[in-house]
Structure 1
C-alpha cells in the first residue's frame, strides 16, 4: 500500500502536468501596441511603423495614424455630413449661418470667399486659404469611423475621382489642406506637420492601402 506522502506527490505531479497542457489564452495585443508613444500634437514618423512586421497590419496602423489628422476638427469641420460647415473644436455650426450651396462654395451672394480670403485675416479672426470651400457630401467625415473614411478615400466615386497617387499628392501639397497646420488666431492645429502627414499617407498606399477594422480607433 503506497504511503500518504507518495500519494500526494503523485497528485501534485498530475495537477502540474494538467496545468502545463492547458491551452494558454491568446494574446490580445494589437499591432499598434508596439509603436512608440506620441503626444496629441505629434505624428509618428512612417519609419516607426517598421516594427509591425506584417505588411497589411502595418498599412492599417499607418491609416489609423493618418486618421488622427483626417478626423481632427481642423480637417473634418470642412467635411460635414450636412449642408452647414462646422467650426471650433466642439463641432459647432458655422456662425454666422451659411449653407454649402450647389457647388459646395456657398449660396449666391454669400459664397465662402465672400469672407474667407486666400490667407488668414488675423485682426478679424477670419480663417483663410486658397480655394476655400466645403468637401462634397460624399466625402463627409464627421461621425465616421477610420475604416469608413478609409473606404471613402479608396472609392473613386466618393473621393472626387482621384487615384491613390493623387490622394497622396493632395494631402502632401494642397494649400487648403495645409491650412490645418497654420489655422491662425490661436486655433488648435492638426497633429504633426503636412510634410509628415503626406509621408504617412504615402506609406499607407505603398503598403497596400489597407483599411483598419471597424472597431479600431486612432
Structure 2
C-alpha cells in the first residue's frame, strides 16, 4: 500500500478534480443502493431444455456482471471508469501492464482496505477493498454482448486459468466481488446478493455452462 502521507492529499485532490470536472450530483445511498432482486435458480426449473435453461440462467447472472460496480473495473482499455455512467476515472488512471496502477500513483494511494466516507462532498465516499485492483486485460467486458462475456468468462485462457469450479468459488467467495454489494455511500449495488449470484453461476455450470447467442 502506498505511503499514508500520500493518501490524504491525493484523496483531497481526487474530490477537487471530480467537482471541477463537472461530475453530476450523485444521489444519496438510499436512492442508489436498491439493486432489486435476482431470480432464484428454482425460477428456471420450468425451462425443460437444459441448454436453454443454462443460457437463461447466465442472462440473469449477467445483470450483476454488467452492473457499473463490476464493469467499471473490467473496462475496454487499461483505464478504469467510474460512476453509474461509466465516465473516465478521475484522476485519469492508465494501468498499462499493472493491475494496481502506474508507478507513483498506485490504486492504494486513494483506495484503502475499506470504503472511506467524504463529509460534505458530492462524491460521498471513496470505495475501498484490501484487494482493490483492475481486472486483467483479458477480462475486459465493456462493450461486449452478454454472450461474448459468457464465452470470455469460461475461457481458461482469458479468465485467469479458472476451471468451472474455480469460477463458482471466485464469484461466491472473493472479497472484491462481494464488495459490489457494499459499495459505499453514493453508489448503487447490483441486484440480489453474492450468495444468490454464486448460486446462479453454479447452476449455469451444472447445466452445461451454455452461452447465449
Considering the TM-score relative to the shorter chain, is it more than 0.5? yes
Match of 2:61 among 58, 62, 66: 66
Q: Find the aligned partners of 1:111 and 1:127 in 2 and give their Cα distance.
A: 14
Report the aligned-residue RMSD. 1.3
Normalized against structure 1, the TM-score is what? 0.78
Q: Find the aligned partners of 2:143 and 2:35 in 1 and give their Cα distance.
A: 20
Partner of 1:109: 104
- Computing the radius of gyration from Cα coordinates, the structure with the larger value is 1
Partner of 1:181: 181
Contact between 2:35 and 2:189, CA under 8 Å: does it hold in 1?
no
Residue 42 of structure 1: CA displacement?
1.1
Deviation by residue 1:14-45 (Cα, 9 ceiling, x = unmatched): xxxxxxxxxxxxxxxxxxxxxxxxx9621000
Question: Aligned pair count?
Answer: 175
Normalized against structure 2, the TM-score is what? 0.80
Q: Find the aligned partners of 2:205 and 2:64 in 1 and give their Cα distance.
A: 16
Partner of 1:190: 190
- Structure with bigger RCO (C-alpha 8 Å, 6+ apart): 2
Structure 2, unaligned runs of 5 or more: 1-33, 120-124
* Large movers: runs of 4+ above 4 Å: none
Change in Cα spacing, 1:186 to 1:40, as seen in structure 2 (3 Å) is closer
Match of 1:77 among 72, 78, 83: 72
